Structure formats: C-alpha cells, structure tokens
Amino acid sequence: MNLPNALTVGRIFLVPLLVVVLLTKFEGRLILGVRKEFVGAAIFGLASLTDVLDGYLARRRKQITTLGQLMDPLADKLLVTAALVSLVQMDLAPGWMVVVILGREFLVTVLRSIAHARGVVIPASPLGKFKMVSQVVAILLLILGRDHLQQFFILGTIALWIAMLTALVSGFDYYRKFNHLLSAPKPPASRPAAFDHEPS
C-alpha cells in the first residue's frame, strides 16, 4: 500500500476514535489531563489534514490508484458524517441542519455513481472546496465551543450555516450539470470514466 492510500486508511481509523472521544463521558471531562474537546478537535484536525496530504502526495508522486479514488471520498464522508452526528448528540448542532447537509451529500453521491456508470464525468462545483472547508471549520469551532469557549460556538454556528447554504447551492449546481450532461448526445465510448477527486 502506498503512502497516500495509507493516509486515507488512517483517516478511516480515526473516525471511531473521534466518536468515542466526543461522546464518552470522562471523569472531569479530561483525557490524560487534557479537556476532551481539545482532544476531539485535535483528532478531527489531524484527520482533515490527512485529506489534504493524501491527495497532494498522490498527485506529486503519481500514485493515483483505483483503490485511492474509491477510499478517499468514502473516508471524507465517514469523517464528516461521524463528526456532525456526534455534534447533534452533544447538542452543539441542530439536527435538521445536519440532515440537510448529509442528505445533500447522499444525493450527490447517487448522481455521481449514476453518471459514472454511464461513462459521464460531472465536473465538481467550484463551491465544492469552499463547502468542504466551511464544514471543517464549523466542526472544529463547534467542538471547541462546548461550555467554555462561547465565542467559538457562535462562530461555529455561523460557519455551519455557511456550510449548509453552500452545500445546497453546490448541490443544485451538480444536479443541473447532471441533467445537462446525461441528456446531451453521448460521444463514442472509449473507456470508463474516472472518478473526479475534487469535493463536489
């Protein structure tokens, strides 16, 4: 297994650790003398960093593989889903907003799979990266905003609103491209389309 894929696998293994840290009640809410919110934020930040590194290294080292193309978006969705659902359980994020964000991710994944099966690559929305960044920022701020850092909680809530609105706009853009490309005349098939790595 190459280094980019190893980083992706590492991100997947960090997901259950993040959930345990966020949702388990520790005595005094301390883990080895550190508040569990800081530990949770560190785990999520590290996992998010591996998302940046694995893509960069795969391109830099020319180690883009089919396995990596499948695992990378899966790891991203597992991480964000686990973090957002944990925030709802901790009463740090409204459930309906999380449902909207995750519902959009599910629908776009379905559309992408249908398009790929038909040999069509749908370009990622320019808002895709901004959506991902806003989600990461919102999650980090909301984790840190528990009880003792109210300013972070307020900023995290604002970032979550931005993430949700960006998700809806980019999702609509993706659906529009999906309809346009699949209704257009298909060129002669040469080989199966590759997955688009960019956040959609």
* pTM of the complete model: 0.85
pLDDT at position 96 over 70 = yes
Average pLDDT in the 97-114 region?
91
- Side-chain-facing half-sphere of 53: CA atoms under 13 Å: 16
C-alpha distances out from residue 4 to 24, 50, 61, 161, 172, Å? 31, 9, 9, 32, 31
At 123, the pLDDT band (50, 70, 90 cuts) reads confident
Task: Go through 2-36 and write b for each residue having 16 or more CB atoms within 10 A of its CB, e for each that does not.
Answer: eebbebbbebbebbeebbebbeeeeeeeebeeebb
CB neighbours of residue 163 within 10 Å:
25
At 62, the pLDDT band (50, 70, 90 cuts) reads confident
pLDDT at position 107 over 60 = yes
Please tell me which of 9-13, 108-112, 182-186 the model is most confident about, judged by mean pLDDT.
Answer: 9-13
Q: Are 134 and 170 in contact (CB under 8 A)?
A: no
Of 13, 79, 78, 75, the C-alpha closest to 44 is 79
Q: What is the pLDDT of residue 79?
A: 95
- pLDDT > 90 fraction of the chain, expressed in percent and rounded: 42
Q: What is the pLDDT of residue 74?
A: 87
Q: What is the pLDDT of residue 55?
A: 82
pLDDT at position 24 over 70 = yes
Length of the chain: 200
Q: What is the pLDDT of residue 158?
A: 96
Residue written as token pair 């694995």: 54
Average pLDDT in the 170-198 region?
69
Average pLDDT in the 31-43 region?
84
pLDDT tens digits, one per residue of 129-140 = 899 999 999 999
Q: What is the pLDDT of residue 28?
A: 60
